[in-house]
Amino acid sequence: MDAVTMELSPIAVRVLGSLVEKEITTPEYYPLSLNALANACNQKNNREPVTSLEEGEIRQALHRLEDVGLAGAVRGTESRVAKYEHHVQEVFNFTRGEIAVMCVLMLRGPQTPGELRGRTERMHRFEELSDVQSTLQRLMQREPPLVVLLPRQPGTKEARYAHLLSGEVTEAFPSAVETESVGRGGSQLEAEVAALRQEVAQLREQVERVLRLVE
């Protein structure tokens, strides 16, 4: 099962991210009952956007996650209340840094490397920002990729990254240049790609200035 064939809904992504987060940060309360999972999905901190999901919606999302092998009910327990767990590690074999980054992207949407470094702190400590960037590159270089670089927004210094568990992100850069960069390797090509991105951003700003003058 891969990111292309998964096409998870936003609710399924929220459910999966919540299961991953709680296993790492509060293992004593994991696996989660349906009620506990609903509370985790709808909590007001560390969630963007904040949701008010019903248990029926979460149960439907769990069925979808079970279909693709990413989560399901815990088998063989004596508890009278059904509890749920994720199977992300079995499917993707992430490093601790990779699963922390994916978890934050699932729970909070597109993020900059700086935001990811701060918001993964409870799950994994990245010593340097470059460690976050290396982790993102590995996730982008998977086949198929699990993360994509988004176009830099006007007036911002850092680019944002998004997960691909729900399919292609419409505002993402075309992947052909990055695929070529990964395949051929080499710092020179990477520098050329970075320069091209900077030129695109500058051209966008110039076009916006002209449009404002015309208006």
Give me the residue spans of the domains in the chain. Answer: 3-92, 174-215
Decide if 13 contacts 166 (C-beta within 8 A). yes
**Residues found in the chain:** 215
Question: What per-residue string of b and e applies to 82-103 under the rule 16 or more CB within 10 Å gives b?
Answer: ebbbbbbeeebebeebbbbbbb
Nearest to 156 by CA among 112, 193, 98: 112
What topology is assigned to 3-92 in CATH? Answer: Arc Repressor Mutant, subunit A (1.10.10)
Decide if 119 contacts 108 (C-beta within 8 A). yes
pLDDT in tens, the chain (215 residues): 444 457 899 999 999 999 999 999 999 999 999 999 999 999 999 999 999 999 999 999 999 999 999 999 998 777 789 999 999 999 999 999 999 999 999 999 999 999 999 999 999 999 999 999 999 999 999 999 999 999 888 888 889 999 999 998 875 443 333 333 334 444 455 555 566 666 666 666 666 665 666 66
Task: Look at strands 83-86 and 71-73 and give their pairing.
Answer: antiparallel
- Cα 62 to chain center, whole Å? 18
Query: Which residues pair with residue 33 across a beta bridge?
Result: 83
